[in-house]
Amino acid sequence: MEIEGPFRISVMEHPDRPGHELHLEFTEAFQALPVEAQAEQMRDYIAALKAGILELGEDSRDGQGMATIRQIAEQLYPYIEAGDLALEETIVVEIAPDSPLASFVPGGTARN
């Protein structure tokens, strides 16, 4: 299931160390919105993620990935609402090799 959101997500691998990174980059369209509209779009995105998780189930692979992105979006929301986030910057989230999220990444590992 794919949900269009205010940012693009890419995965970066580091051959010299374990784990991966998620890179979040806000779309130009999102950056161009007024702060109030950015906050509204982020709220809608979080709601869509919650609905998708309910539809897929939190135990499914896609549901777990969506839950992780929802958590990140919820952490970013107050800063977006306040206009305190540099939206032109890339946000980097490190994924440890033993994280459940690592199983979503090609070549990643996770403990069960």
Tokens coding 64: 């777990």
Task: Summarize the confidence of residues 10-23 as an average pLDDT.
Answer: 82
CA distance 4 to 72: 15
Question: How does pLDDT run across 76-103, given as a tens digit for each residue?
Answer: 999 999 999 999 999 999 887 765 554 4
Question: How does pLDDT run across 27-65, given as a tens digit for each residue?
Answer: 999 999 999 999 999 999 999 999 999 998 888 888 888
Put simply, whether the predicted model's pTM sits higher than 0.85 gets the answer no
- Please report which confidence band the pLDDT of residue 108 belongs to, taking 50, 70 and 90 as the band edges: very low
Q: How far apart are the first and last CA of the chain?
A: 24
